[in-house]
Structure 1
């Protein structure tokens, strides 16, 4: 199933990246497109962001002159908290090019900066469980079933965890994301044991990544904490995470399975800096 030799004839490999309208998802989509994949982009409500990602991919040079944009790119919007929408997304993805080589479950609910940030704790937790946890689990199982039905082997699934999930973090954000991201990591390991050797399943666990929140909203406290807790003494970037995800899908990582890989520059275990008053 893995088709990295782009000089041979035949279709380009296909990567599906959920939540690819911004941040890590956008950079992951660009990383796969730059490396010769046809890319299916997904978003829920951020249609403008989805179009921006698509436009950036369209601006990339095609790895083969014969490839058309239609063969390289497709955009789909759906709510992965909805079981029927998940089934439709997976069916559409496999129908597009006849198969899927890489599936990246990056989509997640924004409960920190969006309109949901003011909701009560239990409502935010339920949203994360519905979208991040159940959505990821549901999509993984549907993708694996499609691959099995088509007798396809060699696929790669990557889910997104969090480097602090197993360590714990203070405050409501820690309670929310330690709970949900730990569930995703545990499920990823269990799924890898269930579908090997036909499909590889791994979990990438970002640390302090400077997405739009880090650029536009993070206070000096959080900026200091992000750099202090990394051995490389800097924020991570969405590109750092995207490169790891793309590597996991490549033949260079063919013996990497059932793993949770932290992308955090090496974590420094120390007390957080004192908050400003």
Structure 2
């Protein structure tokens, strides 16, 4: 029996990733159903809703709370997850600080940046430095001709991080997600060939902020995509599911942009 863990899965992209991975596990009709673990920080009701959706598919699913902005809590969560779930096939580092909605939206730039660094970079790195080596030490040959699947870890970056974006959002999310993407590539070098490590870099995805934002941002999000629309949580989940599937068995150390294709003809108008 193998395990699947998704951090920050109480809502939005994380929830969709967890449900997509569960659905794919059922479709593969493995002799043994995986055990899943859904992480959350404070939204217990949301985590329970995610777990219930997974359980309806016939897959065992637990929920665990942890504040990943605290290194000790992040490390304890990693150890607890390894103990609860057992051998892990798939680990998705989706958890990230939300500074665009709720109380954090009113914080100062410095406070937002610090929280993003603590959760997205430091907390994620602390988890991965425990879980990654443990996954690499699990039994099984990643090069087995019988078709065994190499354990996989996926990170969530940002498509605009390498190039930059104007304004406070760009100056916060740019360096933070660039660090996440660089860490993922270094971890891929460290854990190969025992664990595949990749990154998904979403573009304009219509999460809670995108559903209530101004017409300017709506026009910008749709115009900057060659597909002429917002991306969805399902679009991101599909990319994660691919990278963790047997079909991506020869893919590691890569970043896949999920942004509908960057529209180079778009010029940002004055806000």
Instruction: Mark yes or no: TM-score above 0.5.
Output: yes
RMSD: 1.5
Q: Distance in 2 between matches of 1:112 and 1:256?
A: 33
1:93–1:100: 8 Å Cα contact kept in structure 2? no
Aligned to 1:16: 5
Q: Between Structure 1 and Structure 2, how many residues are aligned? A: 254
Q: C-alpha offsets along residues 160-191 of structure 1, whole Å, 9 cap, x if unaligned? A: 00000011111101100001000011111111
SS at match of 2:204: coil
Q: CA deviation at 1:254?
A: 0.8
Q: Distance in 2 between matches of 1:125 and 1:211?
A: 20
Q: CA deviation at 1:136?
A: 1.3
Q: Distance in 1 between matches of 2:88 and 2:189?
A: 20
**Mind listing any 5+ residue stretches in structure 2 that lack a counterpart?**
26-33, 143-149
Q: Distance in 2 between matches of 1:173 and 1:244?
A: 24
Superposition pairs of residues 159-170 of structure 1, within 5 angstroms: 159-170=155-166
Q: Is structure 2 residue 108 aligned with structure 1 residue 120?
A: yes
2:40–2:65: 8 Å Cα contact kept in structure 1? yes
2:99–2:112: 8 Å Cα contact kept in structure 1? yes
Q: CA deviation at 1:48?
A: 1.6
1:102–1:249: 8 Å Cα contact kept in structure 2? yes
Q: Distance in 2 between matches of 1:209 and 1:150?
A: 35
Q: Distance in 1 between matches of 2:121 and 2:75?
A: 16
**Mind listing any 5+ residue stretches in structure 1 that lack a counterpart?**
1-10, 63-68
SS at match of 1:112: coil
Aligned to 1:82: 70
2:71–2:122: 8 Å Cα contact kept in structure 1? no
Q: Distance in 2 between matches of 1:124 and 1:87?
A: 22
TM-score (norm 2): 0.89
SS at match of 1:101: strand
1:210–1:237: 8 Å Cα contact kept in structure 2? yes
Q: Distance in 1 between matches of 2:40 and 2:207?
A: 17
Aligned to 1:192: 188
Q: Is structure 2 residue 269 aligned with structure 1 residue 273?
A: yes
Q: C-alpha offsets along residues 247-268 of structure 1, whole Å, 9 cap, x if unaligned? A: 1001100111111110011011
2:8–2:94: 8 Å Cα contact kept in structure 1? yes
Superposition pairs of residues 39-50 of structure 1, within 5 angstroms: 39-50=36-47
Q: C-alpha offsets along residues 29-88 of structure 1, whole Å, 9 cap, x if unaligned? A: 10011122432100001112111212222333x3xxxxxx5xx20100001122222222
Superposition pairs of residues 117-196 of structure 1, within 5 angstroms: 117-151=105-139, 154-196=150-192
TM-score (norm 1): 0.87
Q: CA deviation at 1:149?
A: 4.5
Q: CA deviation at 1:21?
A: 0.6
Q: Distance in 2 between matches of 1:79 and 1:180?
A: 18
1:32–1:39: 8 Å Cα contact kept in structure 2? no
Q: Is structure 2 residue 216 aligned with structure 1 residue 225?
A: no
Aligned to 2:17: 28
Q: Distance in 1 between matches of 2:16 and 2:138?
A: 30
1:18–1:106: 8 Å Cα contact kept in structure 2? yes
